[in-house]
Amino acid sequence: MNLKELCAHLQNRRRMYLPDDRYSTAVSFIEGFNVALDGEPLKGFQRWLSERIRGGESNLHWAYLVASVRMPEVIEGNLPLDQISPDQEELLVDDLLRLIDEFLALPS
């Protein structure tokens, strides 16, 4: 399975892969998939996302960059990822999957 297929499964059958709908759970799962494949699936994603969201380089992990679009207080350090309100969790997972899909659609 590649990252595009994994994201499609997470979009359509999320509970087959994840025990809950929390953003931090989805981030951990995707990061684990990435690490298991020596960082190849998300190679360049951090840089692309930093440019797209922040307009330049950023040393923030991609999970914080994605969350910051809906909740700027994440970047300010006032809201840890594991304390995001339940009404925002699923929206953030959808945002993350959409952004990964956009990234994967870029010409290599």
Number of H helices and E strands in the chain, helices first, is: 6, 0
User: Structural domain boundaries of the chain?
Assistant: 3-105
Query: Residues for the chain: how many in total?
Result: 108
**Residue closest to 19 by CA, chosen among 8, 7, 32, 10:** 10
Could you tell me the pTM of the whole model?
Answer: 0.92
Which helix (DSSP H) or strand (DSSP E) does residue 96 occupy?
Answer: helix 86-105
**Residue closest to 11 by CA, chosen among 75, 101, 107, 108:** 101
What tens-digit pLDDT sequence spans the chain (108 residues)?
999 999 999 999 999 999 999 999 999 999 999 999 999 999 999 999 999 999 999 989 999 999 999 999 988 888 888 889 999 999 999 999 999 999 999 997
* Residue 1, number of CB atoms within 10 A of its CB: 8
